[in-house]
Structure 1
Amino acid sequence: MEYRKLPCGDEKISVIGLGSGSLPEDIEKSEEIISAAIDSGVNFFDMATAIKPPLYAFKKAFEGRRDKVLTQVHFGAVYGDGKYGWTQDLGKIKEQAAWNFETFGIDYTDFGFLHCIDTHEDLDRSLAPGGVWDYMKSLKAEGKIRHLGFSSHEPGIARRLIETGLVDLFMFSINPAYDYQKGGEHARGGVAERMELYRDCEKAGVGISVMKPFAGGQLLDGKTSIFGRALTHTQCIQYALDKPAVMTVLPGVRSLEDLQVALHYVSATPDERDYSVIGEFTPKSAEGVCVYCNHCQPCPAGLNVALINKYYDLAQAGDELAKGHYEKLDLHASDCLKCGHCESRCPFHVKQEARLEEIAAYFGR
């Protein structure tokens, strides 16, 4: 395993971590995966799952080797009904935090993350006096959180939190689809804005843990890749690790087989790690596929068409958390006015009206 030192501390973080969003419902199988990851040198674990059962697997897997693992616990991810939910309710967050510490068998978390802050309104509420951020700072003062951080998909949000001077590490989506220079804007923020964020983090000594390295699995299949060609797990991992400030990449795994595929990166040859093939891709590769470029904005109905499409694609690829992110949007696919505005402006000729009907039926809204 390869390790990178956290700029603001002594921790050495494995370049391959473990994302927990896809861990199986079977607790014993999840425990087996976590234990196998530790045995293979993985020491960084994100603790946000799509369903509650896998959370019970960490305690036994960590038993006797707490000093060998680094935990990334999210404040705002809740599991009251057994499934992932998002909240800014401080009472619910405190209740979930107490449950987490007890269930994981830990008395502190190495990284405490403000969970999934994607709008400035949500951030304002989190940073308000007596809000979630103040609560997390109090836990840090008590030693229950060793490093503060956050997860977000929005570069502007990331900058505001980094400017507090309190953030040591944050979680961000990085992959060729979101950053690809010739293909327009992927995820949130254009390529220049995103790259400037990575560079500024490196200068400021703030690390990044990477989520969605495979774009929810889309990049691994030529049929779903916006490039019309599949990339490998190793190419995507290397791409993310080559970005400034990146400490670790957190692939989601469903099985021991998935874990071994991700861990192949460690022994991969230079040729296997080479992702220069993306230089051959052109925007024409994405014809008819929504690449979340936002050229359709502003929508007359106020829909965030790109995010609606993104969460649908991620859900289709098996990301259980995507449905929760979709439901958090103010407007949904069913609010489409069918005015034709987005289709007239789309450079990739996506039949967006029909697609939004499909998305509305899929999510039931």
Structure 2
Amino acid sequence: MKKNRLGKTGLMVSELGFGGIPIMQLEANDAAEMVRYCFDRGVNFFDTANMYIDSEGKIGQALEGVRDQVVIATKTLERSKEKAAEHIANSLKQLRTDYIDLFQFHNLSEESELETVLAPGGAMEAATEAKANGQIRHIGFSAHNKDTALKVVQTGLFETVQFPFNFVETQALEALHPAAMEKNMGIIAMKPLGGGMLERADLCFKFLQQHPHVIPIPGVSNKEEFDQIMAMYETPQPLTDQDQQDMENLREQLGDSFCRRCGYCLPCPQGVMIREAQMFPAIMNRLAPRQAMVFMKDVIATVDECIECGECEEKCPYNLPIVEMLRRHVEGFRELEASLG
């Protein structure tokens, strides 16, 4: 598989990466087999996170014997030096390695979080110390809010940016990607399939191939799914006029039901985790039922505090019926709980 340079990290990574969420639903040996299958087909960039339950451990098991041939990226949601240092140590253990190629601050979507990370005693201190002693080689971040992401890029302190990018979520093209490219940052596309909400994989990857500066990291849990995507990289096809029309039709269809996780609806005065709750359909598509319940339990609990004031809907740039959507997510979660006893 063709390899591209991941910005100023200098890392040469496969033009198609591997996202570590869906393997959470697989048994350990099946997950290891899936990861190695992708490696054998040419993928050398594997992205995971401390919060992805057992994903790090499964990737570590699969790649232990080929560590020098792969690039491993992981993330932490911690913002303090002490907790981030604990996560780094835990990630190294789970990944069965003595260094992490790319360590990312997970979901830096609020400016206050960036300030905390960079302040004295913040998580950046843990990362820079780990980098100095060789436990981390490069530092990046992920985000869902384009305005905050742009501010993070402009600090010049990070080597990569991971942000949603697909033919529906294209806002990164406006300013984020140009700013990152100007600073020679590597650009990683999370949610290349819209978090499982976009079923036309052919359109998704034809679109992404028009942007070779971006490394997509689709999450796959079976060989057939990976083979379908891989075929599009082995024999790239240009976007046709019909493809363009199909994408536009899908954008229109999803317009009033697709949360882009931009965060403009926040903060909720009642503390509802709106952005995270809107992930419920995607999580249901990507995880086994019991794992989905564990993953979403605390988030859905905050939705119970919603008083339907409508403030979030007033701020949503896409005019989504957020209150109704949240209500459906709660109902879906309660049904899931009931089905699992």
CA deviation string 1:92-141 (max 9, x = no partner): 43233212213322111111111222212222211111210111011112
Q: Residue type matched to 1:4 in 2?
A: N
Q: Percent identity?
A: 23
Tell me the residue number matched to 2:123. Answer: 132
Aligned match of 1:148 in 128, 139, 149?
Answer: 139
Q: 2:183 corresponds to which residue? A: 204
Tell me the TM-score normalised to structure 1 length.
0.76
Residues 102 and 340 (structure 1), Cα distance of their counterparts in 2 relative to 1, 3 Å cut: closer
Unmatched segments (≥5 aa) in structure 2: 335-341
In the alignment, the residues of structure 2 paired with residue 252 and residue 70 of structure 1 have an alpha-carbon distance, to the nearest angstrom, of: 16
Structure-2-length-normalised TM-score: 0.80
Task: Identify if the C-alpha distance between structure 1 residues 241 and 332 changes in structure 2 by more than 3 Å, giving closer, same or farther.
Answer: farther
Deviations, residues 136-181 of structure 1 (Å, cap 9, x unaligned): 01111222211110111112222222223221112111011222xx
Partner Cα separation in structure 2 for residue 282 and residue 20 of structure 1: 26
Q: How does 1:241-320 map to 2 (within 5 A)?
A: 241-243=209-211, 245-246=213-214, 248-271=215-238, 275-278=243-246, 280-281=248-249, 284-286=252-254, 289-291=257-259, 307=275, 310-318=278-286
How much has 1:9 moved relative to structure 2?
4.0
Q: 2:192 aligns with which of 213, 232, 243?
A: 213
Distance of aligned partners of 1:305 and 1:146 in 2 relative to their CA distance in 1, 3 Å threshold: closer
The within-5 A match list for 1:59-74 is 59-74=60-75
* Structure 1 residues 12-91: aligned runs within 5 Å: 12-23=12-23, 24-48=25-49, 51-76=52-77, 87-91=78-82
From the superposition, tell whether residues 344 and 173 of structure 1 become closer, same or farther in structure 2 (CA, over 3 Å).
closer
What residue in structure 2 maps to residue 334 of structure 1?
304
Looking at structure 2, the residues matched to 260 and 292 of structure 1 have their Cα atoms a distance apart, in angstroms, of 27
Q: Count residues with an aligned counterpart.
A: 330
After superposition, what is the alpha-carbon deviation per residue over 1:250-271, rounded to whole angstroms, capped at 9, x for unaligned? 1111122222222222223415
Deviations 1:304-343 (A, max 9, x none): 79736632332333366898589569x9433333457778
SS at match of 1:143: coil
Alignment partners' CA distance in 1, 2:108 and 2:219: 20
Secondary structure at the aligned position of 1:72 is classed as strand
Query: Which residue does 2:338 correspond to in 1?
Result: none
Q: Report if the CA contact (8 A) 1:308-1:332 is conserved.
A: no
Q: 1:163 aligns with which of 147, 154, 163?
A: 154
More displaced stretch, 41-50 vs 17-26: 41-50
The structure-2 alpha-carbon separation of the partners of 1:271 and 1:335, relative to structure 1 and needing over 3 Å to count, comes to: same
Alpha-carbon distance in structure 1 between the residues aligned to 2:161 and 2:320 = 33
Q: CA RMSD in A?
A: 3.7
Alpha-carbon contact 1:20-1:49 (below 8 Å) kept:
no
1:347/1:147 CA distance change after superposition, 3 Å: closer
Please, which runs of 5 or more residues in structure 1 have no aligned partner? Answer: 77-86, 180-190, 221-230
Distance 2:318 2:86 in 1: 46
**Does the CA-based 8 Å contact 2:20-2:46 persist in structure 1?**
yes
More helix by share: 2
Aligned residue among 316, 322, 325 for 1:355: 325
Choose from 104, 121, 127 the match for 1:113.
104
Determine the C-alpha separation between the residues in 2 that align with 1:69 and 1:273: 34
Cα gap change, 1:60 to 1:279, in 2 (>3 Å): closer
